Amino acid sequence: MKVMLLLSLFLYASSTTSGSYCMSTDCTNQGTSGSFSLYLRVCCVMDNLGRSFTIKGNGISRYILCPSVLPKPCQSVRSCKDLNSTINGDYTIYPDGVTPVEVYCDMNGINCDGEDGWTRVGYFNMTESDATCPAGLIQKNFTNIDHPLCGRLANSSTCISTTFSSNGLTYNKVCGQVRGYQSFRARAFLNFQNDIENFTVDGVSITHGSNPRKHIWTYA
């Protein structure tokens, strides 16, 4: 398969207020936001309550002592699972406890396993009239298909990819669907290697993380 019509990916969060933001005493300050929001991002993590942290970044070290109870501004809706709703649609969640993120929530698991509260992280559907391919994938038109598709150049020998952010959400299950078309011949797997970066598949592969990324699902 070389071109994709549709992709949707959902993440399922296991617990509401766990997380690992700045768990070590020397983690670097990745944020550009002010120290109050840094304080909240550290202290809105349940595991960090009652502990102290030294955050090093840009030549400045900040000492943060988290209180023993969650600070008041911490948001409890970390993922769609924390919403009190059975209606699928767009919601605001706070994966790090303070930063709002708009996401589509599958509240009845109709796209997945029937469990409530799946958070969508990646989606494109090329039959929608204004749809565009996500960054990294190339849009292609075929005379016998009445909408564009996404994929790689037919004559390129390397794979191309796109990345979807989990926005820092802690998750333990992934579900989704991909719909695609085969063009030209199917070659399935090539270049068998132990190393995920050197394995070639003529199809679609979904991985998570980096250095090294880990395999979730492949269709050849």
Ligand X SMILES: *[C@@H]1O[C@H](CO)[C@@H](O)[C@H](O)[C@H]1NC(C)=O
Dist. CA 42–CA 21, nearest whole Å: 6
Asked whether position 26 contacts ligand X by CB under 6 A, the answer is: no
The only residue of 54, 125, 182, 218 in contact with ligand X, by rule CB under 6 A: 125
- Residue closer to ligand X by CB (options 37, 111) is 111
CB of residue 158 to ligand X, shortest distance in Å: 10
Residues 62-121 close enough to bind ligand X by CB under 6 A: 84
Dist. CA 146–CA 27, nearest whole Å: 51
Dist. CA 118–CA 11, nearest whole Å: 6
Secondary structure (DSSP) of 182-216: --S----EES--SSGGG-EESSEEEEESSSS-EEE
Stretch that binds ligand X, among 16-24, 35-43, 101-109, 147-155 (CB under 6 A): 147-155
Q: What is the dihedral of CA 190, 149, 119, 169, to 10 degrees?
A: 60
Asked whether position 20 contacts ligand X by CB under 6 A, the answer is: no
CB of residue 182 to ligand X, shortest distance in Å: 18
Closest CA to 8 of 110, 94, 99, 80: 110
The only residue of 197, 209, 210, 211 in contact with ligand X, by rule CB under 6 A: 197
Asked whether position 190 contacts ligand X by CB under 6 A, the answer is: no
List residues near ligand X by CB under 6 A. 6, 84, 125, 127-128, 139, 141, 148, 153, 155, 193, 195, 197-198
